[in-house]
Amino acid sequence: MTGRILTLLLSAAVLALAFALGPVSGGQARTVAPEAPAARHVVAFRTTTLTPAARARLDVTGFWGGPVTSSSGETLTLYFSNTYTQDPAQQLQWANFFSSLVHGSELPLLKAYLMPLTEVQSYCGRAALACYSASDSTLIAPATDPATDVSAQAVVTHEYGHHIAAHRTDDPWVAVDYGPKRWASYENVCARTASGELHPGAEDPIEYVTNPGEAWAETYRVLNQRRLGLPETAWDIVNPNLYPDATALAAAQQDVLQPWSGPTSTSYRGTSGRTYAIPTPLDGRMTVRISAAAKTRVRLTLGSTSTTTSPGGSRTVTRTICGQRTASLSVKRVAGRGAYTLTVAKP
C-alpha cells in the first residue's frame, strides 16, 4: 500500500484540548458508549494515493524544519510548509503532541509534513484530507484545522495509527491493512474478511467503512482520547460493528507498547497416540513438527491434513489459524514403540 487517506467527521474542539495538554500518562481503558453524533457540517473526502512523483516533491523546496527533540527527549522529523513562519516553538509544540500519543519505537522513523489543506490536496489529491505512505513512513496532514468541525490533531492521530500499523507484524497478513496482531485477532478480522464482511485495504466509498485498517486507526484515536481523559469523538468513520470495547482497546494498547514479534514454540513428548487441544488466541500461521524415534512411525493429523513419518524421521504441517481459538492435533503411532516429539509454533 503506497498511500492511506482519512475520511473524518470530527469535532475540532475535542483534539484542540488534546493539543493543549502535555504528554499522556498511563491509564486503564474505560468502557464508554459512543456518543450520539451531534449536528455538524458533513465533510466527505475521497481516497487517493501518495504518488512517487508527489513524494519526490516533498524533498525539494517549500518546507522548513527537520529533526526535532520533544520535551520528553524523543526525536522525530517534522517539516512545515513555507506558508507558515519559521517558528521553533510551533515545531516543538507538534513534536510534543506526537510524543504524547501512545507509541513505541516507531516514532523516530516518522517523517511528517504539515501544511495548509490546499497544499495537502496538491500532494494527496484534490479531495484528500491527509495521506500516509507505509513504504517510507511519510505522513502528510494539515497543521491547522481543515474545517470548523475537523481538528488537525484528530487527523494526525488517525494517521499516526497507520504509521504504527506499518511498523507492526500480523504475519501472514499486512498489518497496515488488517491491523496489528492482537487487535486484529480479537476483532476476528481474518474470519470476517473471509465471510465478506470486512474489506482490508479498501479505499472506495462503499467498502471504506468496512476496512479494518481504518477501524484500527480509529480505535487508536479512541485509545488516545481515553488516555487523555477527553470527551470522545463520535464514531463516524467506519461501521459501528467495529467500535472498540474495553478488550479491543487493551489489545490495541498492547500492540502499540509490546509489539508481537513472531510465533512461540512449545514441545510435547509422548509414547502413545493422543489428541492435543492447543489454545490459539491469536490468528496467524501455525506450524507443527513431529519427530519419531528410531524404528518408530507416527501419524500427525491437523484439521484435514495428515502426514506420517518414516522410522526415526520427522514431518511438518502448517495451518492458518483464522478465528479458531483452539486447534486439535491428533497423534497416532503406526509402527514401533519409541517416543515422539511434537513441536508447535503458533502466533
Give the angle subtended at the CA of 23 by the CAs of 22 and 26, to the nearest 5°. 130
More confident position, 315 or 23: 315
Q: What is d(CA 102, CA 115) in angstroms, rounded to the nearest whole number?
A: 23
What pLDDT is attached to residue 58?
A: 83
Q: Model confidence over 279-313: pLDDT tens digits? A: 999 999 999 999 999 999 999 999 889 999 999 99
Domains of the chain (ranges; CATH) run: 12-257 (no CATH), 264-346 (2.60.120.380)
Q: Model confidence over 33-63: pLDDT tens digits? A: 333 333 233 334 433 557 778 788 887 678 9
What pLDDT is attached to residue 231?
A: 61
Q: Is the pLDDT of residue 250 over 60?
A: yes
Q: Model confidence over 72-94: pLDDT tens digits? A: 999 999 999 999 999 999 999 99
Q: What is the dihedral of CA 144, 146, 148, 152, to 10 degrees?
A: -50
Q: Are the beta carbons of 25 and 228 closer than 8 angstroms?
A: no
Q: With pLDDT > 70 as the criterion, what percentage of the chain qualifies?
A: 85
Q: Model confidence over 109-156: pLDDT tens digits? A: 999 999 999 999 999 888 788 999 999 999 999 999 887 777 888 889
The strands making up 326-335's β-sheet, listed across from edge to edge, are 274-279, 326-335, 297-302, 305-308
C-alpha cell at 89: 516553538
